[in-house]
Amino acid sequence: MDINHVINEEMIIIGDKVDVVSHAGEVFRTMIEDKLESGLFLAGVPNRKGVFMHVDQDDDLYLVFYRETGRYIAHMKVVAIEKRGAIRYMWLVQKAEVQRNQRREAFRLQVSFEVQVYEIIEKSKQEPDPDDETSEEEVVPLEIINSRDISVTGISIITKKKYMLEENYQLNMHFNKAVSHIRQKQLIVDKTPGLQLTATVKRCIPWRTANTFNTGMKFYGMTDSMSDGLARYVLAEQQRQLKKRNMLDY
C-alpha cells in the first residue's frame, strides 16, 4: 500500500462536504475549498435560498464530516471573511482535537424523561477523619432536563450547560415522568430515587436553539442488575411505542 495515499480519517481534507453548525445551533452545508500549510482552511459561507449564513470573524463553528468509520466533529474558529464577487468565503482554524462519534453499540430509543445531572466533587483529603465512613465524593445538582434518547450503553440529553469532554457526572433518571419548567428553572431536585448511574461526556455540541447543547454520555461502572434493568426498560418502551404507532395506523 502506498503510504502517501493513506488518509488520517480525523483530518479534514480539500473537497470534504461538511455540515456547519453555527453558535446558534443552525445547520448548513458547505465544502472545504483549500487548506494552507499554516493550518488554515477555506470554506464557502453557506447560502440558503439566496441568504448567506450569518457569520462574523472570531465566531466559533462546528464542522461535521463523515468517514467510513463514523461521524467526526471539528471545533473551528472563523479568522477572516473574504468576498470574491458575489461569493463569500471564510478562513477557519481548528481549535481542538476532532471528536469522533463512536458507532452505536446498541439500539438507541428516542424517549423523553426526567434526568437530574450532578457534578461529582472529590472531598478534601488534607485531614482525613478515621471515624468518617462517608464517601470521599459528594454530588452537587447542576440542572434538571429531559432526555432525547437512550440505549443500554449511553444517553443523549439536551443541556443548557456546556460540559467538558471525558468528565464524569452522576445521573438520576426518572423514567415515568417529564420535568416541569418550574422545577427545571428553580433546580428543585426530586429526592425520590430513580436509576442512578455515572456517565462520561463523549459529545457536547450546539443544539437547535441558542445556549443549548446536544450532550452525549456513556454509562460506566454499571452492575449486572443495573444493565438488566435498563435493558428491560428500553425493550418495554420500544414495544409500547410500536404498539401505539400500530394503533394509530388503523
The yes-or-no verdict on residue 157 having pLDDT over 90 is yes
Across the range 163-177, mean pLDDT stands at 89
In a domain, 3, yes or no: no
- Grid coordinates in use for 188? 428543585
The string of DSSP codes covering 204-224 is EEE-SSTT-EEEEEEEES--H
Domain check: are 121 and 243 in the same one?
Answer: yes
143 touches 171 (CB < 8 A): no
Number of domains composing the chain:
2
Residue 249, SS3?
helix
Please state, in angstroms and as integers, the Cα–Cα distance from residue 36 to each residue in 40, 41, 43, 81, 92, following that order. 5, 7, 12, 16, 10
Q: What is the CATH number of the domain that holds 61?
A: 2.30.110.10
Domain check: are 144 and 82 in the same one?
Answer: no
64 touches 76 (CB < 8 A): no
Give tens-digit pLDDT for 216-228: 999 988 888 888 7
Q: What is the CATH number of the domain that holds 222?
A: 2.40.10.220
Domain check: are 70 and 161 in the same one?
Answer: no
In a domain, 67, yes or no: yes
189 touches 170 (CB < 8 A): no
The yes-or-no verdict on residue 43 having pLDDT over 90 is yes
Classify residue 5 by its DSSP letter. Answer: G
Weakest-pLDDT range from 29-38, 144-153, 170-179: 170-179
Domain check: are 95 and 185 in the same one?
Answer: no
The alpha carbon of residue 105 and the mean position of all alpha carbons in its chain are separated, in whole angstroms, by 16
In a domain, 4, yes or no: no
In a domain, 197, yes or no: yes
Give tens-digit pLDDT for 186-224: 566 666 668 889 999 999 988 877 788 999 999 988 888
Domain check: are 47 and 162 in the same one?
Answer: no
- At CA 141, angle to CA 139 and CA 145, rounded to 5? 135
Closest CA to 209 of 25, 27, 53, 54: 25
**How many whole angstroms separate alpha carbon 243 and alpha carbon 240?**
5
Pairing of strands 87-94, 60-67: unpaired
Domain check: are 17 and 118 in the same one?
Answer: no
Range of the domain at 166: 109-125+135-249
Q: Which amino acid is at 197?
A: L
Give tens-digit pLDDT for 53-88: 888 899 888 888 887 777 788 889 999 999 988 889
Domain check: are 81 and 153 in the same one?
Answer: no
Give the percent of the chain with pLDDT over 90.
22
pLDDT band at 30 (very low <50, low <70, confident <90, very high): very high
